């Protein structure tokens, strides 16, 4: 009888230890998977960034060539409407003019006190989102009012995030508001399929909607000299 009485607590202890061991293994596995996911996202962001930088370099060369043609046309006493239209398109792409038109608005909330966020939105995450939108055909992009151009940098200075060397601001309680102009269906499709699932998996609140967007011009020093 005494042996049977002792067997019950020992069995319970064994069950509890087994449960704790299983829980620890599952937790460790989850952490490893999340770290692997973050590493994959960082690698993808670097690849996207390299391609975007090459694309931006080509764009700047085309812009410079077009500006030279425009100056030559003006010197000769005439300006082609097609040439002016092309120049306006490049000005919009390099961020020197305001943009208003159809697009999408993305809001991302990574505040840990509001949600079960594992990792907050990183600089690499933002770069990956930006380049996904570019590949989706975005004509102009802004993050919390800062126009994204070829020279845009997103860095931390202490505990403050800087975009275009301007301290990052959170408008109306929403940490991130990303606007992109262009084909709404295509922008929405690319973001919801390529970016939103991973962000939600990390515990962030993500919403995206079609909207007529107003994107300001770049206020910093332009990487391309305009006429």
CATH of the domain at 77: 3.30.70.1880
In this structure, is residue 220 part of a structural domain? no
DSSP string computed for 128-167: HHHHHHHHTT-SEEEETTEEP-TT--EEEETTEEEETTEE
What pLDDT, on the 0 to 100 scale, is given for residue 223?
44
CA 155 to chain centre: 13
Q: Which range marks the domain in which residue 71 is found?
A: 2-215
Mean pLDDT of 57-62: 68
Based on the structure, what is the number of domains in the chain? 1
pLDDT band with cut points at 50, 70 and 90 for residue 136: very high
In this structure, is residue 223 part of a structural domain? no
pLDDT at 37 over 70: no
| Single pTM value for the model | 0.63
In this structure, is residue 224 part of a structural domain? no
In this structure, is residue 222 part of a structural domain? no
pLDDT at 80 over 60: yes
Dihedral of alpha carbons 120, 161, 114, 147, sign? negative
């Amino acid at each position: 009888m005494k042996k049977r009485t002792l067997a019950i607590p020992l069995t319970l202890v064994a069950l509890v230890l087994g449960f704790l061991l299983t829980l620890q293994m599952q937790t460790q596995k989850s952490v490893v998977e999340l770290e692997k996911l973050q590493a994959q996202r960082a690698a993808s962001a670097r690849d996207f960034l390299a391609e975007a930088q090459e694309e931006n370099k080509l764009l700047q060369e085309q812009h410079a060539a077009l500006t030279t043609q425009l100056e030559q046309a003006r010197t000769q006493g005439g300006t082609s409407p097609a040439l002016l239209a092309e120049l306006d398109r490049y000005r919009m792409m390099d961020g020197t003019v305001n943009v208003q038109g159809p697009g999408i608005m993305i809001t991302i909330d990574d505040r840990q006190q509001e949600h079960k966020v594992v990792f907050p939105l990183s600089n690499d995450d933002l770069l990956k989102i930006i380049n996904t939108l570019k590949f989706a055909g975005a004509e102009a992009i802004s993050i919390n009012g800062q126009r994204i151009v070829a020279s845009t940098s997103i860095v931390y200075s202490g505990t403050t995030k800087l975009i275009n060397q301007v301290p990052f601001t959170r408008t109306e309680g929403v940490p991130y508001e990303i606007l992109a102009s262009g084909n709404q269906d295509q922008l929405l499709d690319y973001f919801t399929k390529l970016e939103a699932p991973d962000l939600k998996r990390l515990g962030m609140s993500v919403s995206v909607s079609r909207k007529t967007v107003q994107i300001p011009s770049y206020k910093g020093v332009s990487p391309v000299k305009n006429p």
